[in-house]
Amino acid sequence: MANTFWIIFFIGSGYLLELLFRKIFLAKYFVNLPPLQMVSRGNWERFSGSVAQVLPDFIGLIFFFAGAYFTFTLFFWVDSPWVELVFMAVLIAISCIRLIQIISTLVFSPASEDFRVVPMQDRNALISHRLLVWTSGYIIAALMFAVVSSRLGAEVETVRLSQLFVATLLLVVAGVGVLRYREQLQDNIIAAGAVDDQEPSWGRMQFAKVWHILAVLYLAILWLLLLSDLADPDVREGGAFILSFFVVPIWMVADQLVQWVVGYAMSTLRLHQDEYDDPVEPSEEELAQREKGRALYLKVRGFARIVVVGAFIVWVANLWKIRIPFFSELAAFMLDSIIILTVALIFWQFINSWIERKIQESIPESEEDGDEVDDEWGGAASRGRAYTLLPMLRKFIGSVLLVMVTMILLSSLGVDIGPLLAGAGVIGLAIGFGAQKLVADVFSGFFYLLDDAFRVGEYLNAGSVSGTVETITLRNVMLRHHRGMLQIIPHSELGAITNFMRGGIVVKFNLDFPYDAPIDKIRKVIKKVGQKMLENEEYGKDFIRPVKSQGVREISNSVMTIRVKFTAQPGTHFVIRREAYRLITEALDAQGIHYAHRKVIVDVADLGESEAAQNNPEQVKQLAGAAAMRTIEEEEQAAAGEGQPGSNDDPMG
């Protein structure tokens, strides 16, 4: 009696710790779970929501097991092998049953259809959940009883007879359940084959009529195989009966997994999608193409299901040491392939989703309104480093993953991949020697990106070429010239780079006034305009330093030049400069200050004043016009030679 008390005490301690955990921890951190009706109907979102719902139960189970076992270790004076054996058997049995209950809830979700991974009606999901939990509990309890009996000295024959009795009772109950619910499951089999209001296939209809006969026959064969193994003392059953009994739930999970792999592969190859997000009504040609893709998807899915069924038949036969030539090896290869492809696709789905999310975060918000983007640098906004590097990283990971999966599949098929790897190394070495320019381009691009020398959307000047970075590949960088031309330059030919997008752009422009213009008044007007532009909601935030006057830059023969300067974010200075011209002109006009008109003063020294005015006025006009034209040409040549901003080829002008 005392030993039983200790066992109850240890188990109760585990439940008490779990209860405290639920009251303290779960009430604080698991109060904002999404409502059932708000969870997306997608497979991945549905599975994620189901995991979130059962996660508290799983953590509580861990606390229960740890609390019970830790309490048992604290009471070290309870030194009884019987207590330890029975306690561990009870603890393992309870933990396994609860774990199966959590997994069953994760798969069937009897409380809500929104989290259900397996497509079922609510009533059938509840029945399947209860049957799985009760049957598992019955089997686990029987196994623990057999283990305890064997450890306490029971005869082998007695243990085997008890196992046969338990298995026989289980099979009889299962057979009765099959016959009782045969019509309901028949309707479910037919309904599962009706896709998009289409009639189920003839084979499915025939299978639905005789499924209960096949199920009872399978249970009878299973009982005979178990009886044969138990009758031979040299044969160990090794869990074949349990796995064979649960072959249908295992097949359902494997079938859903394979269907997800097929659907994801078809969607990735753009052959078929479950849902299309069309902003406009698709054309008849597109609808016909989608219908072909859907037909192909149904054929591939049916073929994959047949392969899974065949693989499970061979797998169950192998459990009972029944070898089927060729098919056993083929089934093992198919099972390995399914596992490898599933793991690879899950990994790729995670990596691709993360990269796509980071790329979307790196796109500036200004690109949403393309009509307002200033295109003097090619129309591309500067983007983050993630937008530049992550697409290349995604291609690299995809290539490596494809090669690894191919090598693993070939290895599981029995192909010796050693010579393939050696041959690939030799080919790579030959390519390296024969394409040194290509290797130089790749390595140059790698170090450019490693140094973060430029990103997509930045304006560069590399030697004789300039433009906005539009695309970066392993070998080339594509620059969009401000006139629209696309320039493709290998990385090794870039050389020294001038990046206009790092830091501020200093813009200076000249304003010409007559000699008698009020300099101090002009300075104040320009300063007020600069302060006003800082308050502008559209471009005020793009200023680094405001618009201000630098005073008189030079005094020429006919005008006085005042220089204006401001510093702005790269790419925004075009709009700011245009607005500065407009606002300064309007402000000066309001103050009665006007720009100087072009004027050339010609002093005709060869003729006297009276003679020039009276005797030869046409000659004076010709001399004045020639002198003025020559002066204008000299000024234009000087401006072109100095490379002043404002020329058509200068994007900074």
pLDDT in tens, 375-388: 555 555 556 667 77
pLDDT of residue 366: 52
Q: Pick the range with the lowest mean pLDDT from 173-177, 244-248, 436-440.
A: 436-440
Residue 361 scores a pLDDT above 70: yes
E strands, 125-249, in order: none
Please report which confidence band the pLDDT of residue 371 belongs to, taking 50, 70 and 90 as the band edges. very low
Residue 456 scores a pLDDT above 80: yes
563 or 612: which leads in pLDDT: 563
pLDDT of residue 238: 62
Q: Are 87 and 7 in contact (CB under 8 A)?
A: yes
Residues contacting 419, CB < 8 A, separation 6+: none
Q: How do residues 532-589 score in pLDDT, each as one tens digit?
A: 999 888 888 888 899 998 888 888 777 888 999 999 888 788 888 999 999 999 999 9
Residue 2 scores a pLDDT above 70: no
518-521 own/partner pairs: CB under 8 Å, 24+ apart: 518/593, 519/551, 519/552, 519/560, 519/562, 521/591, 521/593
Cα angle 144, 149, 154; round to 5: 155
**Token pair in block for residue 488:** 């493709």
SS3 433: helix
pLDDT of residue 198: 64
Q: Pick the range with the lowest mean pLDDT from 31-45, 420-434, 488-502.
A: 31-45
**Token pair in block for residue 135:** 């049957």
* Domain 505-599 listed as CATH 3.40.50.2020: no
Closest CA to 262 of 300, 290, 291: 300
235 or 564: which leads in pLDDT: 564
Global pTM reads: 0.51
Q: Pick the range with the lowest mean pLDDT from 47-61, 364-378, 425-439.
A: 364-378
Residue 320 scores a pLDDT above 90: no
pLDDT of residue 94: 93
Q: What is the identity of the amino acid at 459?
A: Y
Please report which confidence band the pLDDT of residue 474 belongs to, taking 50, 70 and 90 as the band edges. confident
Q: Pick the range with the lowest mean pLDDT from 146-155, 220-229, 231-240, 420-429.
A: 231-240
Q: Are 11 and 91 in contact (CB under 8 A)?
A: yes
SS3 111: coil
**Token pair in block for residue 23:** 């009251």
Pairing verdict, β 560-568 and 543-555: antiparallel
Beta bridge partners of 512: 561
pLDDT of residue 381: 55
Residue 445 scores a pLDDT above 90: no
Phi, psi of 232 (to 5 degrees): -100, 110
pLDDT of residue 644: 42
Residue 629 scores a pLDDT above 50: yes
pLDDT (mean) for 362-369: 57
Q: Are 136 and 111 in contact (CB under 8 A)?
A: no
Q: Determine what percent of the chain is predicted with pLDDT higher than 70.
A: 79
pLDDT of residue 291: 83
Closest CA to 579 of 509, 504, 522, 500: 509
Q: Pick the range with the lowest mean pLDDT from 357-366, 475-484, 644-653.
A: 644-653
The Cα 283–Cα 173 span in angstroms is 56
**Token pair in block for residue 137:** 């509990």
641 or 302: which leads in pLDDT: 302
Closest CA to 224 of 301, 322, 154: 322
pLDDT of residue 113: 74
pLDDT (mean) for 76-96: 81
Pairing verdict, β 476-480 and 459-462: unpaired
pLDDT of residue 36: 47
The Cα 442–Cα 131 span in angstroms is 60
pLDDT (mean) for 442-452: 82
Residue 365 scores a pLDDT above 70: no
Map 388-415 to HEC letters: HHHHHHHHHHHHHHHHHHHHHHHHHCCC
pLDDT of residue 646: 39
pLDDT of residue 72: 85
Q: Pick the range with the lowest mean pLDDT from 33-47, 128-142, 428-442.
A: 33-47
**Token pair in block for residue 162:** 């008890």
Dihedral of CA 137/140/144/149: which sign? positive
Q: Determine the distance from the C-alpha atom of residue 474 to the mean position of all C-alpha atoms in its chain, rounded to a whole number.
A: 22
pLDDT (mean) for 187-193: 76
- Give 420-446 as a DSSP string: HHHHHHHHHHHHHHHTHHHHHHHHHHH
- Farthest-apart Cα atoms in the chain, separation: 148
Please report which confidence band the pLDDT of residue 345 belongs to, taking 50, 70 and 90 as the band edges. confident
pLDDT (mean) for 344-355: 83
Closest CA to 304 of 253, 246, 257: 257
pLDDT of residue 316: 82
Q: Are 377 and 482 in contact (CB under 8 A)?
A: yes
Please report which confidence band the pLDDT of residue 91 belongs to, taking 50, 70 and 90 as the band edges. very high
Please report which confidence band the pLDDT of residue 612 belongs to, taking 50, 70 and 90 as the band edges. very low
Burial of 418 (0-12, 13-18, 19+ CB in 10 A): exposed
SS3 280: coil
Residue 353 scores a pLDDT above 60: yes
pLDDT of residue 99: 92
User: How do the domains of the chain map onto residue ranges?
Assistant: 1-154, 155-245, 363-499, 505-599, 601-653
C-alpha count within 13 angstroms, C-beta hemisphere, residue 616: 12
- What's the mean pLDDT when you consider all of the chain? 79
